[in-house]
Amino acid sequence: AVIVSTVITIVACGACALLASIASTPDWGALAAAVLGIALAAAAIIAWTLAVGALAGSAEAAYALTLACAAGWAIATGALTGSSRPEVADIGFALSPLHRLDDFLLGLVDASNVVMFVGLAVAGLGVAIGLGATEVARSAQDSGLRRWALPIAHGAAWCVIALASFALARSPIVRVQSDWTRAGLFEISPSTRDLLATMQGAWRITLVAPGDVDAEVRLQVGQVLRAFDDAAREASRNLSVGSFDPANPGDAPAYGAWLEELDQRFARDQRAYDQALARAAEDLDAFERFTAAVRPDLRDTVAALPASSADRTSLDQVRGLFDQLSEQFPAFRQRIDGLRVASEERPFPDRAGAARAYEELFRAWSQQLVGIARDLVERSVGDDVPDALRAFVAEHARAFDAQGQSLRLAQDRLLLLPQDEPGRLAEAISRGAAAVIEGPSGVAVLPGWQLFPSTVGERAPDRRFRGEEAIAAAMRSLQSSDRLCVVLVHAEQRSLMKPSGNGADLSALVDAVRLGRGEVLEWIVTAGGEPTGAEGARRAYLIVPPNERAVGEPSRRERELLSATRRLIERGDPVILSIGPSVRALAGQVDPWAGLAAALGAGASTGGIVVDDVAVGEGRREPRSDQLFAGLRGDGPLARALDGQRVRLPSVVALEPTAGAIPLASIDPATGRRIDREWRAGSRRRGNESLGAPVAAIVAHEPVPGRRSIVIACPDWMLSAVAARRTPVAGGHPALTDPGNLALATQGALWVAGLDALMSASASGRDAARVHAVPGLWWAMGSPFLVIVAGAVVVRRRGAA
């Protein structure tokens, strides 16, 4: 019975797979793993149904009791998995049949799961045989001992087998996992095929990956490269694909020759970097001479001021900074010299690293010096200013400001440098892996983090399924003379380009832009004017709203950010503006950010946010502010780029598009959906202001051709804590939960900058079910119901007979 039922299950699943192949391009390996898991689980359930039937003596009771026990088992183990004690949760995961069946449905065949289900099926059959022997002994009218000895022995032996299978399933010995989704998994998108068809000249893609790279990861990237090779061959294009292992002696001759060839191609850019680094060294020498000249006067001025004076405390801190800086100059120069030398781990000098070190030093101290000059001037105003301080300010205040401006110009010169592809390659190889794309017009280097999956727990974009997009973006950048430069405009006191502990940064967005071969500049409006750099690139300005906004007049930082944003809008620059709820609107004041949004074609009601009252228990509702969108509306290039990629907006204010503006994402009225005016409170009170009409969440505006902008009704959608949230899938590989957030930032920047040709089509269709709209689709989806109808007819005829 078990064998026949299992065969029927396999045949039914196979028939469904065959029908699915009519309307889709299924992954046969994943289907086979799913069928195997369902068959094993069905065999275990049927075996224990026979055992319970032998005990109950009724088929109906056997089915009911077995299903009840299976449901209770699933509920109990599910409760254990939620335990706060790790050892209890581990037991719950080990015993949970649904958790183990999930692996099969994901295309992963784990030997421990096979052992567990097989053990359950065998134990159920053993118990059924033992109970059957009991009936035989009873009909033979054996004595009590002979009557129960055999079934008890059978039951005990097979229960021991079941327990042993559970124990063995938790053992590392049988935790051998195979990913059956490898069979025919990857298929490049039509947009990439069109790109390959337009290639001119000779191209080469080379993967540099050491032998310690995970075999599964190497296989995934290898599939992408083979797909590129096959597509280029079909289009009759000159594309070669290769790979090297730097640690493999067999690859050493070819690897060395390839590096020498790259070194020759990089010669021109290397000369430009050498000249820029020489000029930066001169700027550093001038800065050191300035600090040496001003330190004695600083010491004398501090000594002349009263000990309890606030002016003395402030100047003493400046003196300490200068003393510490003078001690760090030799170590800094030693670090620069080390970066400009090749080593065994780095086949090329890290000229970009040296330029970046200079740029960070110049940027930090230009801000410091300008701030010190401003503070000195403010302290020199008044009648009770000490003579020593007044004299120091008169002699050095202008010098501080001039030196700060000089360092800012030195920083700008370094930002004008092209990308250091040799340095990127050397850094990528030193970290483990890289992909190099060579074309007739240049070379592009993709670090391994853009191709290989990252470790779970870090806030970094997942690249498991985006290797194709990374390579295609690099090829587009080599074919096109246009480049994107995203300027992050904010008024925070720290850089948002570097990761922070709580994810309140834009590091994930920066990585995503650089993945597409774009440049990223940071404009801290309180630290100076608009940064220069990325010469020849088209700029897109991403406005980051301030974290805190109080009632009343805006702070100095917010005023400067508002002023800079207003200038950008007035001169028609490409802008992505994010706005959020405002306490000023709640207090009946005018919200200046709503005025900026109105200038970009979106009227904003910033006094409240859209929430949904979600049931969390009997008679209990909890407001949820997260709004999810499966891509964007319309058929424009931006909507096509985000097709199927989920966008999460944690807190949305209502937007009203003006004439000519286009809503890309809208929120429709629904039961329990309302405008919450108590968004500041820890537990929000329910109001009566239900959402009566659709409101826009993302609005695009192009009043005249080429003048584009986007308004997003959420202040924190681009932060790493939101945009780079990940969850493990398919064996623990991390995947972005909301990939549309980063896609909205990168593709939206390309759109407002007018770089439609560089926008890529979404690859989400290859990450989800690949079902095509074909004439036989409804027949294929409805065929299983014909089997149910036929069964009902047979049962009715038998009942009538």
pLDDT per residue as tens digits for the range 606-615: 888 898 888 7
Cβ partners under 8 Å of residue 39, min gap 6? 6, 9, 10, 13
DSSP state of 282: H
Joined tokens for residue 257: 């020759």
Report the interhelical angle of 739-752 vs 507-515 (nearest 10°): 60
CB of 453 within 8 A of CB of 464?
A: yes
What phi and psi values does residue 665 have, to the nearest 5 degrees? Answer: -150, 135
CB of 531 within 8 A of CB of 521?
A: yes
What phi and psi values does residue 554 have, to the nearest 5 degrees? Answer: -60, 150
Using a pLDDT cut of 70, give the percent of the chain over it.
76
Instruction: State the pLDDT at residue 145.
Output: 56
Instruction: State the pLDDT at residue 603.
Output: 92
Cα gap 400→372, rounded to integer Å: 7
Cβ partners under 8 Å of residue 76, min gap 6? none
Instruction: State the pLDDT at residue 413.
Output: 83
Residue 617: burial class (beta carbons within 10 Å; 0-12, 13-18, 19+): exposed
Instruction: State the pLDDT at residue 95.
Output: 79
Q: How many CB atoms lie within 10 A of CB 668?
A: 9
Instruction: State the pLDDT at residue 767.
Output: 40
Stretches in the chain below the pLDDT threshold 50: 183-184, 454-465, 682-686, 729-733, 763-774
Instruction: State the pLDDT at residue 487.
Output: 94
